[in-house]
Structure 1
Amino acid sequence: GRGGVPSKHPARPPSPSARARALPAAAPRCGGGRPQRRSSSSPSRPSECWARWSWRRRPPPPQRRRTPGPLLVRALIRSPASPVLSFGRANASRHLPLPVFPKGVVGLPANKAAKPYCPEGQPCEHIVASYVKFLESQGARVVPISYYAEKDEVVAILSQLNGVFFTGGGANIAPVHEYAYDFAIEANDAGDYFPIWGTCLGFEFLIELAGAPLDHGYQTNNMSLPLIYTQAAASSRMLDVLNDDLLKMLADPEKTSAYNYHSAGIDMANWGKYAELDATFQVLATSVDPVTQREFVAVFESPKYPFYAVQWHPEKNAFELGVYPDGSPYEAIVHTPEAIDVTMALSQFFVNEACKNDHAYESTQEMKESLIWNYPIYSHLSTQMYMEIFVSGRFRNPLDS
């Protein structure tokens, strides 16, 4: 072999006739078709035939190099102490560490609902499942908060949660949103990190909670619009999780996945008119209504608090796939891999934010009884706008019972 390493596959010696042609005429032939390693007269010296033939040996084929990955995997599988070897065994728990659940438990205030969501047309509340999936995709768990919850109830719930998420939909702002916003302000002012996220309607709620009225008359239903970044975007915590390719995609009119479905919002020209709003939040990006040509705020965050909001719907790219009976899409949502990368990056960002405080339920059982999966989920119904929704007469906290 090369470099002093013996080859596993020694080269086949040439045929006797080939060796005869290769050696000078006076050289002796090797008996039996194979070179004799030692001469019979001098056992300590190689024979002349071997010496001549050894110079003409073909080099062995190069040895195949193995990559570290497969070698490491094989080593783990073969190692007696490897956890990989323990899967499927009755005593696997002796070899594997106990699972550690993430701390991110996020509260979602519900929206009022009516037909076709409520059973038999009765008043009820609902939460669109795509927002739940948006959070759960990164390991968070979701607790519903009733649209009609009183202040004491909201404070009791949020003191056990790690963040709150204002969803999109169709509803007016309710006291529950004000209670949650005030709780988060007071908590952060006291050094207790507590994040808020708002999407579409939730984005609009945060504007109202910061003391500004909404502008109306946008014609931006069912369309993806490019983002126009402000100078503040360069130092944004939220946008920092998106790589350059995703930021360029969101700004590209031909590729953007920023799906809009709203008629309210706030004009960029009006933002600076409201001192509390301008002091609490900074604009990161805008978009332009292609019908009215009005530039509206599309993304903002607070430089002081962990509060973030988008006027568009990042959850829909991955989790809303409604279609008409003929198979055509119900909404013009972009479902490219890049669009879903944006969904996952933003959801991971907020879930990470929600893991920065130590709020927790007093018991696992109480937490389990509070989760949204205790409520029925409905698929499609008579509309394709939402793939799934959670419905309840009233989302209640176990502390009330």
Structure 2
Amino acid sequence: MYSLIFLTLILSFVIKLTICNERPVIGILTQEVYWSGFRKSVPLNSSYIAASYVKSIEASGGRVVPVFTNRTTKYYIDMVRKVNGILVPGGGCAFNISSGIGRSTNEIFQIAKIVNKLNDHFPILGICLGFELLLMASIKGKFPFSKCKAQNMNLPLTLVPEMEEKSVLFRNMPKDIQNILLTKPVTANHHIKCMRKTNFTSMDLDKFWNPITVNEDKDNLTFISIIEAKNYPFVGLQFHPEKNAYEWEKDDPHSWSAIYSARYFFDWFINECRKNKHRYIKKSTLKNELIYNYPTTYVGKMHSVFEQVYFFNE
């Protein structure tokens, strides 16, 4: 299905079109309303993107297009052709790779692996659910997680010692940001599934990924909180850096140091996307697909975990 020859043909003309990219366009995956807290308020055939992810990308100098769920492989190949990277957001799903955002993530993961093997730098950033789905995609949809209690926890990161020099995130990270992340409770955790180190090894995830940081849940269970692919520009964060500046329903960290350090992850991601040379051939197509074509809806008054959401009629 993911023919190397086919992808070479469809991508080759795009890669040569531009020498540098100071106008990155980022695809953000939509997800089904069914798994959200506001599913009773909107049609179940809708999908959504939390506005905090869009704002975070824009604050780092990128533009956003929605990448829709439950589309064809051809659609996802076409989206990879046009955008400079993909963000897989947090949320909820059925935790399989046959439907919804799980399938979308798996399709893009497989396509992006081939694209990167062609020396075409294509980054993926997964946050919380995205972190989990990237792990599952790398082991053919197997479920590697354990139950845990890491809801509503603001935590400092613990860097795996041997990863300080290996990590693409940490080796060039400014010292003041690193100090904040490693000493202050600035990462917002909202998950009940954890990636334990024992499962990470036993399920061969360590063959594809490096574990970069760890944390402990309310029962002192140690879980992996940042992963980086060994040979691809793929990064997963179990915590939510987008919440520090843009979400207010929970007791997430909103201090200056929390917002300043969270900004680093999106700045890093957008800089990685600037290395990618894909672009929309027609500006009119880009303008028609940008997130600006869709209104935001204030859902904070519904006691949602989000303040604003983009809804899409699938």
TM-score by length of 1: 0.67
Which residue pairs with 1:221 in the alignment?
151
Distance 1:117 1:217 in 2: 25
After TM superposition, list the pairs within 5 Å mapping 1:239-278 onto structure 2. 239-252=170-183, 255-275=184-204, 277-278=205-206
Which secondary structure state, in structure 2, belongs to the residue aligned with residue 239 of structure 1? coil
| C-alpha distance after superposition, 1:205-254 (max 9, x if no partner) | 011011152323211111112211111133311123432232232222xx
Aligned AA for 2:90? G
Which residue pairs with 2:9 in the alignment?
none
Distance 1:229 1:280 in 2: 19
| C-alpha distance after superposition, 1:108-162 (max 9, x if no partner) | 1111004635765442100011111111111101111111111111111111111
Which residue pairs with 1:357 in the alignment?
276
Q: Residues 263, 190 of structure 1: CA spacing in aligned structure 2 closer, same or farther, 3 A cutoff?
A: same
Q: Report percent identity of matched pairs.
A: 27
Which residue pairs with 2:53 in the alignment?
131
Distance 1:245 1:270 in 2: 33
2:66 corresponds, among 123, 144, 158, to 144
Task: Point out where structure 1 has 5 or more consecutive residues left out of the alignment.
Answer: 1-99, 322-329, 395-401
Distance 1:101 1:342 in 2: 25
2:236 corresponds, among 309, 312, 315, to 309
| C-alpha distance after superposition, 1:170-217 (max 9, x if no partner) | 123532111100111000011111000000000000110111523232
Distance 1:118 1:361 in 2: 37
Which residue pairs with 2:303 in the alignment?
383
**More strand per residue:** 2
The reply to whether residue 207 of structure 1 matches residue 132 of structure 2 is: no
Aligned-residue Cα RMSD (Å) equals 1.8
Which structure's CA Rg is the greater one? Answer: 1
Moved over 3 A (4+): 117-122
After TM superposition, list the pairs within 5 Å mapping 1:1-400 onto structure 2. 102-114=22-34, 116=38, 120-173=42-95, 174-211=102-139, 212-230=142-160, 231-252=162-183, 255-275=184-204, 277-291=205-219, 293-321=220-248, 330-379=249-298, 380-394=300-314
Residues matched between the structures, number: 283
Q: Residues 239, 177 of structure 1: CA spacing in aligned structure 2 closer, same or farther, 3 A cutoff?
A: same
Distance 2:283 2:163 in 1: 41
Distance 2:40 2:166 in 1: 44
Which secondary structure state, in structure 2, belongs to the residue aligned with residue 235 of structure 1? coil
Aligned AA for 1:128? A
Distance 2:21 2:74 in 1: 28
TM-score by length of 2: 0.85
Aligned AA for 2:310? F
| C-alpha distance after superposition, 1:339-394 (max 9, x if no partner) | 11112211111001011121000111110111112122101241241111000112
Task: Point out where structure 2 has 5 or more consecutive residues left out of the alignment.
Answer: 1-19, 96-101
Which secondary structure state, in structure 1, belongs to the residue aligned with residue 171 of structure 2? helix
